[in-house]
Amino acid sequence: MPSPPDLVDSHCHLDFPDFAGQREEIVARAVAAGVRRMVTICTRLRQEPAVRAIAEAHAPVFYAAGTHPMSAHEEPMATVENLVRLAHHPKMVGIGETGLDYHYTASTKAAQQESLRVHVEAARQTGLPLIIHARDADADMARILAEEHRAGAFACVMHCFSSGRALAETALDLGFYLSMSGIAAFPRAQELRAIFATAPVERILVETDAPYLAPPPHRGRRNEPAFVVHTARVGADLFGMDEAEFARQTTANFDRLFAKAAAWAPEPAAPA
């Protein structure tokens, strides 16, 4: 039997209670499925120590830290200085997730936009990629990203991309990446797949957003990093590539964007 292709789950949430007491098994299943690395995301900065500890405990796991836009109004406002300080950790490889979400929290858009701009500046100063969450806020998202990029370049991935074509085009024009989640594998997501199909494959990542958005055949169940193989299979078909080729391409894309993760090596064990 051929070995599974090497993949990266570029966005998951291993600190969430859904995985409590099972993280060893979750990581082991991912590695067995060919998912050699995963990035677990801190969504509230006060939880950063717990997320960092997960990355420290598991060689294949890296992490990012930021304030989720839906929490921006109820958490202390992030500061550039704090994000830059956190980024000194060797396994912190991204800034965020941050962004705009007007689906349930449009009334807090001012706090969300302020928080987003703080995270952008931290991404500039650290050179780490910005991780963007965008929902029902396409026009403001495109405008702010374009404004901020004109003020000073930064790297960025549109995580779990499920917005419209105009925002995808803006992101790609700015040199950003689009990440495919399990949503892209849903049967009714034809329009979203069409948007991905027109993007350069060199700008595509894959992710789970676990524990959410499990792709078929696991839809409706708790998602986990091992299931990114199903989304990657859909992506390979979409780009007319075999699974191993698509895995190599998206892994190369990840390494280009998340260069700090690509360069990381475990410290050698102390002599007995």
The Cβ-side half-sphere exposure at 135, using a 13 Å CA radius, reads 14
CATH code of 197's domain: 3.20.20.140
Q: With helix as H, strand as E and coil as C, how does 38-69 read?
A: EEEEECCHHHHHHHHHHHHHCCCEEEEECCCH
Query: 205 forms bridges with which residues in the sheet?
Result: 179
Give the domain extent around 47. Answer: 7-263
Mean pLDDT of all residues in 21-38: 97
pLDDT at 266 (0 to 100): 83
- The pTM is what? 0.96
- For residues 213 and 187, is the Cβ–Cβ distance under 8 A? no
Query: pLDDT tens digits for 86-132?
Result: 999 999 999 999 999 999 999 999 999 999 999 999 999 999 999 99
Count of structural domains, the chain:
1
Kindly report, residue by residue over 146-196, the tens digit of the pLDDT. Answer: 999 999 999 999 999 999 999 999 999 999 999 999 999 999 999 999 999
- Reply yes or no: is the peptide bond before residue 217 cis, omega within 30 of 0: yes
**Phi and psi angles of residue 46, each rounded to the nearest 5 degrees, phi first:** -65, -15
Write out pLDDT tens, residues 221-270: 999 999 999 999 999 999 999 999 999 999 999 999 999 999 998 877 66
Q: Is the Cβ–Cβ distance between 220 and 214 less than 8 Å?
A: yes
Asked whether the beta carbons of 246 and 206 are under 8 A apart, the reply is no
271 in any annotated domain: no
Q: Examine residue 1 and state whether it is found in any structural domain, yes or no.
A: no
In a domain, 2, yes or no: no
pLDDT(2) > 90 = no
